[in-house]
Chains A and B, each alone.
Chain A
Amino acid sequence: MRKNSKCLVLFLLLAALLSLTGCHGSRKKSEFVLPEAFDTSKQYEITFWAKNDTNKAQTDIYKKAISDFQAIYPNITVNLRLYTDYGKIYNDVITNIATNTTPNVCITYPDHIATYRTGDNVVIPLDQLMQDSKYGLGGSEVLFDSPTKEEIIAPFLSECMQDGQYYALPYMRSTEALYINKTYVEKLGYKIPDVLTWDFIWEVSEAALKKYADGTYIVNDQKVLIPFIYKSTDNMMIQILKQAGFGYSSPKGDVDLFHQDTKDLLTTISKHTGTGAFSTFKLSGYPANFLNAGQCIFAIDSTAGSTWMGCDAPLMDISEDALVDFVTEVRMIPQWDPKNPQMISQGPSLCLFNKEDSGEVLASWLFAQYLLSNDVQIAYAQTEGYVPVTSKAQNSTEYQDYLSRGGEDNSTYYSVKIQASKLLLENMDNTFVTPVFNGSTSLRDAAGSLIENTVKSTKRKATVDDAYFEKLFSETTTLYHLDERGENAVGKATLGKMPLPSVILLAVLGITWFFIGLYALNLALKQRNMGKNHN
């Protein structure tokens, strides 16, 4: 019995220790270790989840890039999966993290990466890869002309840094632009300034609402007119808050969206919605379609949507008989302070997912790097109002020649598209990004929903006043779980009081170890006494 008890104690001790070690890292993936060399004799099959703007030229460029890359690395096969929506990629990645079936390379937003990173070693930190002398950016063993780290535009690269490490490479960059029906603005008696203010936009939009007795708008001679339409209301809110110096969030994820300044902004938006001067993509439709039909004067959309903007646009979503003739002007988005312009930097980035085979990760890194080569960067940037993310591509003769030929045709050299690209190139120092943390996507969605709900309620004749905003803020906080932000934020969040079950568990463990010590001491004393007796 005594012997059995000892065995049982030993077994329980072992089991307790094993159970403790098993608590952590049971689902943990091994950290990626860069192999000494890339094994070109081994076949690798990698997947690339890409996003295109429903634009065949972009799809073709991806396919050509894959084909060219496979010619350089015949042992790597790249399978392409196309998306037209960042949100869908995000949702699919989240689903596939759980089943360990993530793609190898994925187009994404930094906001999304912050969430992917909540899994252990899911996303590959790129610092080591970038700096590696053989396979890093511009590395000696890379079989194509890849850019060096210094050749990636610094502000774009810095957007990919989280918690002091790079988790992505920028792929393309864009901003938002204001596409203007200059013909109608001048018909209304206004001259378009170099930098427009929000006040200017609201004033002209209200002035455009004058009608004939039969209800037809004077400016366009049509029954339909929404003078100002914004595509992305989350960007609208974020950029106004930034321009005006109002709160949004802290770098570590504290929400600062719900305040009087936000109410004042929403009150202004509601006022102009009420008159019919303003609406949004979600509530009315694509700004480009209204602009091209002469039913919108100010359309704000991404520079990456510039090929849809204007009556000569190469991509068109409305019938020819609905199209009207007008002159399109491109400007930066309206500004709070024209002397200190600020606009968002956006666009796709590339992240790599961890795999058991480090050679497979290295293969995916080489492919990601290839997407930053001049061939891909310049070709893709020309499909929309994007700009390449490397100085190597931006300064190349080929790209500079492209920029200089704006207006030569309405396809490759479509003037609106090239003006949109130039807008960002000339304002790279005036761009900003919002802080990235686990939950920043929710906060962004919440910011947009404040505008969408205010516009919707105004259209439905609801009373939009302080009580309305208080309710809206409260419901938005709940819906987007913003009141849970602090404890889930990535960064140095305060952990707060330890939960009761944890306290009990730790206490029991402490007591257990106390008794184990006591038992060991007891045994030692007995053995000592037995030894004394033997002597």
Chain B
Amino acid sequence: MKKSVLLPLALALVLTVAGCGNEPAAPTQESQSSVESTTESTVENSTESTVENSTEASSSEENQVTVMSYAEYIAAELQTEVTVETYVQAKQSWWQDKATVYTQNEDGAIFLYELPCSEEDYAKLVPGTKIRVTGYKSEWMGEVEIVDSSYEIIDGSFIATANDVTALLGTDELIAHQNEFVSFKGLTVEAIGQDADGNDVAFFYDWDGSGEDGKDLYFKASKDGVAYTFTVESYLCDKTTEVYAAVKNLQIGQTIDMEGFLYWYEGANPHITAVTVVE
């Protein structure tokens, strides 16, 4: 009799404890819905096509792909499908299984916006990594990029050296270097505005000074009497980076050299990754 009582009691205890363990965690359906679950192998992306996002390329697939030259990519119309081979130069952000990446090959640069990518695969996209990307060529506020894409890592490595485009500042030729890793040399730091006390300042948090530490930094530097605006994009170089600290320490009148990526937003909007005070 006792045994028959003990047994179901023990069983009930085990089952109730097991039942408790299945209690869902706080984040709910809502939060899950905004982050589409992504496996390493496949990412459902656009509605008009299902995109395979394999990090391993099969030989049969390689044979079927027609890779465009950089000139063909540039010539391709917007909203058409393109396939290019390019090399990761820098990663701007990873968010909800989408990566935004600066890439460049020997012939020119390509910006990849919201490339479907797991966090694990994002870690593999180190500078120099060669990738084959298929997606749609698009333009947003002047920035030409590939969107709704998939990629695969392939053999090869290339790191671009900064192309000095100082002489092209303010000219129509500069756009030909959009998204490239570039340098600007011998520019003079200018005031971007005033602080609350009316004193000139060398940088703003956000474009109008509405931000705070950790936000994008905006600053101005001139060449031949013409001032241009530069940005330290906080997703690309956050407040722990050397360039972020360097820009916060800039003094009006200093002469500086810079490196960065020639992003475009209603005109040139360089995302600076290194600043050196030369004078």
Contact = CB atoms under 8 A, between A and B. Distances in A.
A and B physically associate: yes
A394 to B, nearest CB: 26
Contact of A118 (B2, B26, B140, B211): B26
B13 A16 contact: yes
A522 B267 CA distance: 90
Contacts of B123: none
A511 B6 contact: no
Contacts of B17: 19
B26 A119 contact: yes
B75 interface: no
Contact of A505 (B15, B210, B267): B15
Interface stretch (A32-40, A202-210, A342-350, A438-446): A438-446
Nearest to B36: A479
A23 to B, nearest CB: 5
Nearest to A12: B9
B210 A508 contact: no
A506 B211 CA distance: 56
A439 B29 contact: yes
A480 interface: yes
A84 B207 CA distance: 12
A59 B136 CA distance: 38
Contacts of B215: 82
Nearest to A487: B29
A82 B29 CA distance: 26
Nearest to B265: A317
B26 A52 contact: no
Interface string A474-510: 0110011100100010000000000001101100110
A94 B9 contact: no
Contacts of A283: 138, 140
Contact of B12 (A459, A461, A475, A509): A509
B47 A476 contact: yes
B206 A54 contact: yes
Name which of A16, A26, A114, A501 has the most chain B CB atoms within 10 A of its CB: A16
Q: What is the interface residue range for chain A against chain B?
A: 35 or more
Interface string A83-105: 01000000100110110000000
Contacts of B46: 453, 456
Interface stretch (A256-264, A284-292, A357-365, A408-416): A284-292
B210 A515 contact: no
B2 A317 contact: no
Contact of B141 (A59, A286, A461): A286
A9 B9 contact: yes
B106 interface: no
B60 interface: no
Given A456-B46, A459-B79, A516-B5, A441 B30 contact: yes
A221 B55 CA distance: 47
B20 A22 contact: yes
Contact of A5 (B6, B36, B140): B6
A460 B80 contact: yes
A27 B211 CA distance: 36
Nearest to A454: B47
B226 to A, nearest CB: 13
Contacts of A501: 19
B23 interface: yes
Contacts of B79: 456, 459-461
A445 B34 contact: yes
Nearest to A99: B26
Contacts of B212: 82
A484 B28 CA distance: 12
Contacts of B23: 23, 26-27
A96 B141 CA distance: 34
Contacts of A471: 47
A506 B27 CA distance: 27
Contacts of B8: 508, 511-512, 515
Contacts of B208: 54-56, 315
A367 to B, nearest CB: 19
A52 B44 CA distance: 33
B31 A508 contact: no
B16 A23 contact: yes
Contacts of B206: 54, 84
A82 B211 contact: yes
Interface in A410-438: 438
Contact of B266 (A319, A502, A504, A509): A319
Give me the 6 closest cross-chain CB pairs, A-B, nearest first: A56-B210, A115-B30, A285-B141, A12-B9, A512-B12, A442-B33
20 contacts: A19-B17, A22-B20, A26-B20, A26-B23, A54-B208, A55-B210, A59-B211, A91-B34, A94-B30, A94-B31, A115-B31, A118-B30, A285-B141, A317-B266, A453-B47, A456-B48, A460-B79, A480-B33, A508-B11, A508-B15
Given A9-B5, A98-B25, 16 more contacts: A9-B6, A16-B16, A19-B13, A56-B208, A84-B206, A114-B30, A115-B28, A285-B140, A438-B29, A456-B148, A462-B48, A475-B44, A481-B33, A509-B16, A518-B5, A519-B5
Interface of B: 1-2, 4-6, 8-13, 15-17, 19-20, 23, 25-34, 36, 44, 46-48, 79-81, 136, 138, 140-141, 148, 206-212, 215, 266-267
Interface of A: 2, 5, 8-9, 12-13, 15-16, 19-20, 22-23, 26-27, 52, 54-56, 58-59, 82, 84, 91, 94-95, 97-98, 114-115, 118-119, 122, 283-286, 289, 315, 317-319, 322, 438-439, 441-442, 445, 453, 456-457, 459-462, 471-472, 475-476, 479-481, 484, 488, 501-502, 504-505, 508-509, 511-512, 515-516, 518-519, 522
